[in-house]
Structure 1
Amino acid sequence: MPVELPDLPYPRDALQPHLTAATLDLHHGHHQRADVDALNARIAGTELADLALEEIVRASQGGLFEAAAQAWNHAFYWQCLHPRAGGEPHGALADRIARQFGDTQKLREEFNRAALALSGSGWAWLVQHPDGRLAIVTTRNANTPLTGDSTPLLACDLWEHAYYADFQDDRGRYLQAFWKLVNWDFVGARLR
């Protein structure tokens, strides 16, 4: 069964003014679509065709891994954003962030520092390690914490297609917009 390109969880213009419909069209409709199409072409007629996307990511390597991981990373990223989001986390997530980072502002600062330090394309993540600790990690290209022991909680796409149409090469301005859209309810629901 082929992997489907998931619909965005909101209308394509819902993240404006922070991320425009043109950016979502390019990002979701072109780049993520290309990853899903490449993945389906590679798994057609193989035993992988019957696996869930997460399983394909964990079982693959090379070009197949790149396509599968990018398809999964993007689908996850869209869930991390919401038009009526931003603000501050609450509940258990807020408590965990306070224990680990001091407060949400310090989390943002550390996350931004890591995202800005990543040269080239990749992802910035907030993850939960198996011992419960939270951490910020970056991955290059399509790499993802999904292949390790940590649980991805929040993803920020650092590929240029995620922000170039809106912010050109100003990743810092993109990160400011990103924080105004973070879906803390989604992030908190992933805590273990």
Structure 2
Amino acid sequence: MAFELPKLPYSYDALEPYIDSLTMEIHYNKHHGGYVSKLNAALEKHPELKNKDIEDLLKDLDNLPQDIRLAIRNNGGGHYNHSIFWSIMGPNGGGSPSGKLSENIVKTFGGFDKFKEEFSSEAASRFGSGWAWLVMDKNGHLSIISTPNQDNPITFGLKPILGIDVWEHAYYLKYQNMRADYIQAWWNVVNWEEVENRYEKMI
């Protein structure tokens, strides 16, 4: 089956004033939609892969046919990354996590504010286009990393819990070159309940 653009769980203007409606509309339909179309086009060349889910494809990039490997990395990664991104934001976001995720963040980073500062710094300092992530390794340890382009931590054996898109298309209409302002505003739309759900399924 072909991959599909997942339904956005809120309206384009639901994240105002932090993320503007026009950016959301373009980002979702044109950018994410484009990744889905190109991912499906690549898989047309190898129908034996069509029953694999996106996680399986990205975990096994090195064993994919060479002629579509880069297309799957870029467009499959773009599809997977954005599917996570939309889900961990929401109109009633902000605040801080609770439960086991909060406990692990405090244990690992020394407090939620310190975590936010480190995560924001990682996102702001990502050179060029890419993402910043809160990830968990196979032993349950948390860390903060960034990846270039549309790479996802799952390719490197890590589990993505929270991610922010710092490609310019994610923020340039509203924030222009002020990436740090976008990152600061983004914390107001993080849906911690969904982030916690992702974490709970991983542990």
For the aligned pair, the TM-score class normalised by the smaller chain equals over 0.9
Alignment of 1:102-121 (within 5 A): 102-121=110-129
Does the alignment pair 1:158 with 2:159?
no
Do the aligned partners of 1:57 and 1:69 also contact (CA within 8 Å) in 2? yes
Same amino acid, percent of matched pairs: 38
Take 2:135 and 2:164, find their aligned partners in 1: how far apart are those partners?
A: 12
Residue in 2 that maps onto 1:49: 50
Aligned pair count reads: 192
Matched, 1:58 2:34: no
C-alpha displacement at 1:175, in angstroms?
0.4
Instruction: Please give the secondary structure, in 2, of the residue aligned with 1:38.
Output: helix
* Between 52-61 and 64-73, the greater mean CA deviation after superposition: 52-61
Q: Deviations over 1:95-121 (max 9, x none)?
A: 111111111111110011111111100
Q: 71-80 or 45-54: which moved more?
A: 45-54
- Residue aligned with 1:26, SS: helix
1:5–1:33: 8 Å Cα contact kept in structure 2?
Answer: yes
* TM-score using structure 2 length: 0.91
Distance change in 2, residues 1:132/1:58 (3 Å): closer
Bigger drift between 100-109 and 38-47 goes to 38-47
SS in 1 for 2:189: coil
**1:148 Cα deviation (Å)?**
2.3
Name the structure 1 match of 2:64.
none
Residues 92-111 of structure 1 mapped to structure 2, 5 A cutoff: 92-111=100-119
Q: Please, which runs of 5 or more residues in structure 2 have no aligned partner?
A: 62-68
State the 1:84 CA deviation. Answer: 0.4
DSSP 3-state at the match of 1:136: strand
What is the TM-score when the length of structure 1 is the normalising length? Answer: 0.96
Structure 1 segments, 4+ long, off by >4 Å, are: none
Cα distance in 1 between the residues matched to 2:29 and 2:141 = 35
* Counterparts of residues 28-177 of structure 1 (less than 5 Å): 28-44=28-44, 46-60=47-61, 61-177=69-185
Contact 1:2 1:44 in 2 (8 A): no
